[in-house]
Amino acid sequence: MNILVKSISVIGFALVSLLSSTFVKAETVHLTSLSWPPYSDRGLDQQGASVAVAQAAFQAMGHELIVDFFPWSRAVAFASEPGGKYAGYFPEYYYETNDFVFSESMGTGPLGLVENVNNPITWRSVDDLEQYTLGVVQDYVNTEELDAKIASGDINAQAVVADDRNVLKVAAGRIDAAVIDANVLSYLLENEPSLRSAVGQVQMNANLLVDKKLFIAFRNDADGNRWRNIFNEGLEKIDVDAIMQEYLNQ
């Protein structure tokens, strides 16, 4: 009887120790993001599809995620501050940089061109886009080939601060097309009051530039790399595609 009681006590102590250890190890990671619905926005349910994925991955590892929202340039700048509060920013497309290290993919977004329904554009390769004036969003990464042609001047591009501005410019015929994520366009046309005049006037071009993978860009230091490893392990414990699709279909 004493042996049984002793065994139960040992098991109970081990469980308490395990729970206590887990509790002590729980941490809070801070990331920055932008208003980019349906992927991220402080006013959205779960703060957006990408935030829902990130929350699930960190929670799977026993950690809490807090996201603060800023204009895009500031979101990136805050995340790059050495020793700063923020370990990184998201959602981001992959690009070459020494300032950040990228997570494994946390979902995808169909990147293409929004066009005027009365004046659709025709293209098969990026070279074909040289005949058009395109809208882009300042500081957004598009595709390597497209961005190179814009930088060289081979493609005439006009930069704005947000996707909704480009949609209005396309609807008004001020530019031929604009780079945008198809899910973002759908959300904006359904939910943004300032774009009511554009409904029925714009559409996604049938050709996509690419189905872009989305990532968290972690600051390239010891802390950022540690959180990247934690996040990547958490991604393996969840169904990213199911979370994304369930969110986007709601």
Q: Which domains does the chain have, with CATH numbers?
A: 2-107+214-249 (3.40.190.10), 108-212 (3.40.190.10)
- Spell 121-159 as b/e; 16+ CB within 10 A means b: bebeebeebeebebbbbeebbbeeebbebbeeeebebee
* pLDDT tens-digit map of 47-80: 999 999 999 999 999 999 999 999 999 999 999 9
Residue 208: burial class (beta carbons within 10 Å; 0-12, 13-18, 19+): middle
pLDDT at 40: 97
Check if the beta carbon of residue 179 is closer than 8 Å to that of residue 209. yes
Q: Which of 109-113, 140-144, 154-158, 200-204 has the lowest mean pLDDT?
A: 140-144
Taking the C-alpha atoms of residue 31 and residue 165, their distance in angstroms, rounded to an integer, is 26
The enclosing H or E element of 234 equals helix 222-235
Output the CA–CA distances (angstroms, integers) from residue 242 to 57, 112, 229, in the order listed.
Answer: 13, 23, 22
pLDDT at 1: 43
pLDDT band at 250 (very low <50, low <70, confident <90, very high): confident
Collapsing DSSP to helix, strand or coil, 109 comes out as: strand
pLDDT of 21 above 60: no
Taking the C-alpha atoms of residue 80 and residue 92, their distance in angstroms, rounded to an integer, is 14
